[in-house]
């Protein structure tokens, strides 16, 4: 059976199902191990006056309470992945509710928690800035303003027959990984510390902890066996709990462990960024866009984190799958007194995609056209130089966007069902239906060039089994399983003979985060490169071993084959040697059976100053159609059917890839329809548990959920001609929201519904109420 293209199970699936797969919290405690808790700021903004730990230190089992004053001499006081603006522990001032002020170390978890509640943090409180409008009014921003522009905007608007403008708001989203932030820190010799951490970014965690402890990076090892989910929330924000555990370990000389509770995790960590998006577009009678202007404002929270890169990807996805002949895009990040918002699956892309998809839906409604037809007319055209370049100048080629629309229209029975929706709405007094299509063109690569690299270490043993170590981290997405398949294919053995080892900076250094949907692209290709180095040496040895003068052939490495767990010369395939025996023979002849592989994504570059370049190696594209039914009296929303179609290249593991398509869509649908973050007027997260924050459950899954892939023979890039699949399907979760908006067009024909995001049952009911009032307000104004 071939390794590539086979749906072998996730390598940890049995452990996941039985509960035997260990996570950080499950690790057997070491002798003398401490439990760590962080003490957070009680208010969102103010001057830090004092930290009184007297009562906490009197509790039995409490070993220490540490503030910024206890950090090692020479250690950095602030950190950050882009700007070093976030304090390890607050000093002088506090900037959000829960900001770490002190670290508790105790003999038990209960003692640490009780002690944390007894620490008095005294703050001279100030008025917090919590929302985007408040930040704009206060001129409170993070980082510089960013621009991308093409063409003469004023002239295009002056000549266009139609214009539309509006302001759109989207809420944030909680990553809701099942395993909370967690880290075990183990002190070693000469100031060393080992971190066993739930992190997507071992190298960044290593570097941040080294900075906070005043160490060099070679004194810190960070490893991650697996995570119970990440979704971007553990790309940078695993650093604070890791630092807290490491500080306690360094100061006491004892192992230390921290595990956030779920509510604590939700309150302390950043989310997907809320946005205020201002737009105006010019278009013709057929709905073709002539020009577009976008002004994006994100709520970055108190510190920069990854907000500038996230805004960059928003701007780079403002076009989505559609050509904008004249365009101006501006991005600003608002500094507020909330936890610093951070990466989440899609990394800013969803906020840009949502706006242009909403615009096309509004254009169709304005002109009385079918929204799918409007999308087709605006979509990029492969091979047409006038409709194949992004606003930032990258060529969009080798895609099947139009073919996807065509196939989806047929397989979803789009035209017939649209007629049925219209007929239903003409008769029903209690419910209203909607049907809509959305598309995605998602760029694959980090937009920060140096991150587009991966490395792998491959060891072949004399029994024919293989160990592989990469910089990629496994969070349930199946990265390790895919790499097993790639390595097995290179050596012609079974995936069962390949084992992925715990990710560790001790084996793979200077690695990039497992993010940007590039985990397999970078680490898988690096592993393949390492295998090929080994295989080259093996083939040279095999040519001598497997060829003799009696066979009438001369040794030739080009003829050595590795197939079906055997090695042979293809000129004499009857003379085979089992792979394990071959490896043993090679070792006895001192053939090196190990290699380090490296891969750097070719051809990517982006100039942030000019807003031009080629930031992406390729694009993953797709489309989805969603049908919904809404109760006119309660606003209750049911997603009846979804048809999803994507170009994901040649799948390494179809089962895993299809799982990503299903899961990504549902997560995007949750962002758009059920997941609502609620904060108090003092900046404290109120929706901080599963009872108050509603992620989709099994009953929210569409009754009919068709997920298919479309072949793309034009795609000739990437490892085994595969495509990234982690993030792109999330953005197709916009389709149910667009279907709700389509349904609202039947409630008040001729009026653009004031529907924002998420479209919860409450929001839908309020929207319908407004639409039913005389002179219902419109979200957009049409000229």
Q: What are the residue numbers of the active site?
A: 727
Closest by CA to 183, choosing from 267, 232, 249, is 249
- First CA to last CA distance, the chain: 62
Judged by DSSP in three states, 721 sits in helix
- DSSP structural state of residue 345: T
- List beta partners, residue 156: none
- List beta partners, residue 643: 625, 706
> Tokens 């006491």 sit at which residue?
252
- Measured between alpha carbons, how far is residue 715 from residues 398, 720, 776 in Å? 6, 11, 48
97-119 burial: b if 16+ Cβ within 10 Å, else e: bbbbbbbbbbbebebbebbbebb
Strands 256-259 and 275-283: unpaired
- DSSP structural state of residue 159: H
H runs (alpha helix) in 414-492: 414-427, 479-491
- List beta partners, residue 627: 435, 641
Structure tokens at 64: 């220490």
Judged by DSSP in three states, 327 sits in strand
Task: Determine contact, residues 754/727, Cβ cutoff 8 Å.
Answer: no
User: CA 736, 740, 746, 751: dihedral to nearest 10 degrees?
Assistant: -120
What is the C-alpha separation between 306 and 224, in angstroms, rounded?
A: 22
Sign of CA dihedral 402, 405, 408, 412: negative
> Tokens 């792109």 sit at which residue?
728
What is the C-alpha separation between 684 and 553, in angstroms, rounded?
A: 77
Ramachandran bin of 782, using left for φ above 0, alpha for ψ from -120 to 50, beta for the remaining angles = beta
- Measured between alpha carbons, how far is residue 189 from residues 73, 192, 253, 374, 473 in Å? 19, 6, 10, 66, 27
CA angle 401, 404, 408 (to 5 degrees): 145
* Those residues with Cβ within 8 angstroms of residue 41's Cβ, 6 or more apart along the chain or in another chain: 48, 90, 94, 95, 96, 97, 98, 99, 101, 121, 123
Structure tokens at 485: 């398949």
């Amino acid at each position: 059976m071939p390794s590539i293209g086979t749906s072998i199970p996730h390598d940890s699936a049995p452990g996941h199902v039985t509960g035997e797969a260990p996570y950080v919290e499950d690790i057997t405690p070491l002798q003398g191990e401490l439990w760590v808790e962080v003490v957070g700021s009680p208010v969102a903004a103010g001057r830090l006056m004092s930290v009184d730990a007297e009562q906490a230190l009197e509790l039995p089992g409490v070993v220490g309470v540490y503030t910024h004053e206890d950090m090692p001499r020479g250690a950095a006081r602030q950190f950050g992945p882009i700007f070093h603006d976030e304090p390890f522990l607050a000093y002088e001032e506090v900037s959000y509710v829960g900001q770490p002020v002190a670290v508790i170390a105790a003999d038990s978890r209960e003692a640490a928690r009780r002690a944390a509640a007894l620490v008095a943090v005294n703050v001279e409180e100030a008025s917090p800035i919590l929302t985007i409008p408040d930040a704009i009014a206060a001129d409170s921003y993070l980082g510089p303003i960013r621009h991308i522009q093409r063409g003469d905007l004023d002239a295009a608007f002056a000549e266009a027959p139609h214009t539309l403008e509006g302001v759109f708001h989207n809420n944030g989203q909680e990553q809701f990984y099942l395993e909370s932030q967690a880290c075990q820190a183990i002190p070693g010799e000469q100031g060393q510390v080992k971190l066993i951490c739930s992190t997507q970014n071992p190298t960044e965690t290593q570097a941040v902890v080294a900075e906070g402890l005043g160490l060099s990076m070679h004194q810190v090892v960070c490893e991650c066996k697996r995570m119970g989910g990440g979704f971007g929330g553990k790309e940078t924000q695993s650093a604070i709990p890791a630092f807290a555990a490491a500080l306690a370990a360094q100061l006491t000389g004892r192992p230390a462990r921290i595990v956030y509770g779920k509510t604590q995790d939700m309150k302390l960590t950043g989310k997907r960024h809320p946005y205020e998006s201002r737009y105006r577009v010019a278009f013709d009678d057929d709905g073709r866009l002539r020009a577009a202007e976008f002004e994006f404002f994100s709520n970055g929270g108190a510190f920069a984190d990854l907000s500038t890169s996230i805004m960059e990807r928003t701007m780079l996805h403002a076009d989505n799958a559609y050509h904008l002949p004249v365009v101006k895009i501006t991005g600003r990040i608002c500094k507020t007194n909330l936890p610093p918002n951070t990466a989440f699956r899609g990394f800013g892309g969803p906020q840009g995609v949502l706006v242009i998809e909403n615009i096309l839906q509004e254009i169709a409604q304005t002109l009385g056209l079918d929204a799918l037809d409007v999308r087709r007319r605006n979509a990029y055209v492969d091979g047409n130089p006038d409709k194949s370049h992004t606003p930032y100048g990258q060529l969009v080629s080798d895609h099947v966007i139009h073919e996807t629309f065509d196939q989806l229209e047929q397989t979803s029975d789009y035209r017939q069902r649209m007629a049925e929706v219209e007929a239903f709405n003409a008769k029903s007094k209690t419910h209203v239906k909607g049907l809509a299509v959305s598309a995605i063109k998602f760029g694959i690569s980090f937009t920060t060039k140096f991150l587009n690299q991966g490395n792998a270490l491959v060891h072949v043993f004399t029994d024919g089994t293989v160990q592989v170590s990469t910089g990629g981290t496994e969070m349930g997405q199946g990265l390790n399983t895919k790499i097993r398949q790639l390595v097995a294919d290179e050596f012609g053995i079974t995936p069962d003979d390949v084992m992925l080892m715990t990710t560790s900076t001790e084996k793979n250094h200077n690695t990039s985060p497992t993010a940007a949907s590039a985990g397999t692209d970078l680490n898988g290709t690096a592993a393949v490169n390492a295998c090929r180095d080994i295989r080259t040496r093996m083939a040279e040895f095999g040519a001598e071993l497997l060829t003799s003068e009696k066979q009438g052939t001369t040794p030739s490495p080009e003829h050595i084959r590795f197939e079906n767990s055997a090695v042979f010369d293809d000129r004499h395939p009857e003379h085979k040697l089992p792979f394990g025996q071959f490896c043993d023979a090679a070792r006895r002849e001192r053939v090196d059976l190990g290699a380090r592989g490296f891969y750097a994504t070719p051809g990517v570059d982006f100039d942030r100053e000019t807003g031009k370049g080629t930031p992406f190696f390729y694009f993953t594209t797709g489309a989805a159609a969603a049908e919904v039914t809404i109760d006119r009296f309660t606003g209750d929303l049911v997603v009846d059917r979804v048809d999803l179609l994507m170009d994901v290249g040649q799948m390494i593991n179809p089962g895993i890839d299809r799982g990503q398509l299903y899961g990504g869509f549902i997560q995007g649908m949750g962002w758009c329809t059920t997941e609502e973050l609620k904060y108090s007027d003092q900046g404290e997260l109120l929706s901080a548990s599963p009872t108050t924050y509603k992620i989709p459950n099994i009953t929210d899954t569409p009754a009919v959920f068709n997920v298919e892939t479309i072949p793309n023979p034009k795609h000739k890039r990437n490892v085994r001609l595969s495509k990234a699949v982690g993030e792109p399907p999330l953005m197709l979760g916009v389709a149910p929201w667009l279907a709700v908006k389509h349904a609202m067009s039947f409630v008040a024909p001729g009026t653009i519904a004031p529907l924002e995001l998420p479209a919860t049952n409450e929001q839908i009911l309020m929207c319908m109420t407004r639409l039913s009032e005389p002179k219902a307000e419109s979200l957009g104004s049409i000229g």
